[in-house]
């Protein structure tokens, strides 16, 4: 085992104020569907500059609700990058739509206007209702360019943004926070423990469209709606929804964590900068994933691209060597188009950018409680594991 405590690739950071917020919520009248839900939504909307924010059970629920709220269903198609978590593609299948997998830039892992255009041409004629760019690691996809291609196809953008809370981008119209609705119809977030803020499980959808927000709120609670002035017990359901609510207890934690977002962002950026300096001597065999010029990320993942083949090393022995020194890593992600379900549904696809990304990527520890010395320890261990020391 290494010379220090085990460093996972990511973990939550909970302090005394977070615990106090949850304890206070536990002593309140509502454990769920109470005032802390709306308070968290309002604080989150303000944090990302969005007119509306709708809390829900988790990031997958946020994606599913977005598809439902936009009326996407059987006969429709949704474009998704292959380098992402399963939920991005699965949310289309949840509503009966088909998935068009796009390739990604091999050095950023992001969907690009060129890979989206290629995927739409490959897919041929038919309705494309939504394009779901993923802000992988926290770097922002080219929303301006993707929005242009999507409009030409008659589709809207839905940002899959669980990695990108606090990230910003400038596409020539000023610095904009991810999730403010400038380029997309909706943006989805996750508060899983390894994300930038944590509620245990939890998600959020932001939108500038009041009608979409209203439908999201109905659909997260079984489709129920109440008419002002009607009998107090009366509710009506015009379409079925789901139990995708986020409890007050978790919203209390989320609101407390949100107050810490500026500090989290500052620390993540400082750690990323230290990694950049520490990894520089390992070039060209090891380098950070590329940050596009427009992206101002708060990185959720610290992903390096390693030329395992040139080094004569397999990824698994490197992962195991790092684990033996108390350093956790992860691979983000196995290309979704290669999963058995999707191969069975759509056949094999040749997406060279996704293949190149997957072949080289490895995520190293990154979380706010890390010390500067932890970064040096990780890089030194990686150098040893790769035979570069």
3-state secondary structure of 168: strand
DSSP E strands: which ranges in the chain?
Answer: 52-56, 77-81, 98-102, 128-131, 156-160, 168-170, 175-177, 186-190, 203-207, 224-225, 236-237, 286-288, 295-296, 302-306, 361-364
- Among 38, 10, 20, which Cα is nearest to 246's? 38
Closest C-alpha to 381, from 311, 328, 332: 328
The reply to whether 259 belongs to the active site is no
Strand order across the 175-177 sheet = 175-177, 168-170, 295-296
Catalytic entry in 52, 129, 168, 195: 195
Tell me the three state secondary structure of residue 100. strand
Encoding tokens for residue 207?
């939108």
Cα dihedral across residues 230, 235, 236, 242: positive or negative: positive
Under DSSP, is residue 36 helix (H, G, I), strand (E, B) or coil? helix
CA distances from 173 to 144, 169, 182, 183, 303 (A): 10, 10, 10, 11, 29
Residue 153 burial by CB count (10 A; 0-12/13-18/19+): exposed, middle or buried? buried
By C-alpha distance, which of 113, 109, 119 is closest to 79? 119
**Strands of 286-288's sheet in order across:** 286-288, 302-306, 361-364
- Using alpha carbons only, give the angle 160, 17, 19 rounded to the nearest 5 degrees: 80
In the numeric block, which tokens belong to residue 15?
């302090």
- The residues, any chain, with a CB within 8 Å of residue 99's CB and separated by 6 or more, are 77, 78, 79, 80, 89, 92, 93, 342, 346
Just list the catalytic residues.
195
């Amino acid at each position: 085992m290494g010379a220090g405590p085990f460093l996972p690739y990511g973990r939550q950071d909970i302090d005394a104020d977070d615990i106090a917020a949850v304890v206070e919520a536990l002593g309140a009248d509502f454990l769920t569907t109470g005032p802390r839900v709306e308070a968290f939504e309002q604080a989150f909307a303000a944090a990302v500059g969005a007119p509306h924010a709708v809390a829900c059970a988790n990031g997958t629920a946020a994606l599913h609700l977005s598809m439902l709220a936009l009326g996407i269903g059987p006969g429709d198609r949704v474009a998704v990058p292959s380098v992402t978590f399963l939920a991005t593609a699965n949310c289309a299948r949840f509503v009966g739509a088909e998935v068009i997998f796009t390739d990604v830039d091999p050095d950023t892992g992001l969907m690009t206007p060129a890979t989206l255009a290629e995927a739409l041409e490959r897919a041929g004629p038919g309705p494309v209702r939504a394009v779901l760019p993923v802000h992988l690691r926290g770097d922002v996809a080219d929303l301006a360019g993707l929005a242009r291609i999507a409009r030409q196809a008659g589709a809207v953008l839905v940002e899959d943004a669980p990695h990108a809370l606090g990230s910003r981008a400038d596409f020539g119209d000023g610095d904009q926070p991810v999730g403010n609705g400038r380029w997309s119809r909706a943006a989805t977030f996750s508060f899983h423990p390894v994300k930038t803020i944590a509620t245990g499980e939890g998600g959020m959808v932001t939108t500038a469209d009041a009608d979409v927000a209203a439908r999201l709120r109905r659909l997260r609670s079984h489709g129920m709606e109440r008419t002002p002035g009607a009998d107090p017990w009366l509710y009506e359901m015009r379409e079925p929804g789901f139990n995708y609510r986020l409890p007050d207890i978790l919203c209390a934690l989320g609101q407390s964590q949100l107050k810490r977002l500026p500090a989290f962002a500052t620390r993540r950026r400082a750690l990323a900068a230290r990694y950049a300096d520490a990894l520089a001597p390992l070039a060209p065999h090891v380098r950070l994933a590329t940050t596009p010029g427009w992206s101002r990320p708060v990185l959720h993942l610290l992903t390096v691209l390693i030329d395992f083949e040139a080094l004569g090393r397999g990824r698994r022995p490197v992962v195991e060597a790092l684990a033996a020194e108390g350093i956790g890593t992860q691979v983000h992600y196995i290309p979704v188009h290669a999963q058995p379900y999707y191969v069975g549904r759509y056949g094999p696809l040749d997406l060279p950018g996704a293949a190149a990304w997957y072949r080289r990527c490895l995520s190293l520890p990154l979380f706010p409680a890390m010390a500067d010395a932890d970064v040096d320890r990780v890089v030194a261990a990686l150098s040893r594991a790769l035979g570069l020391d």
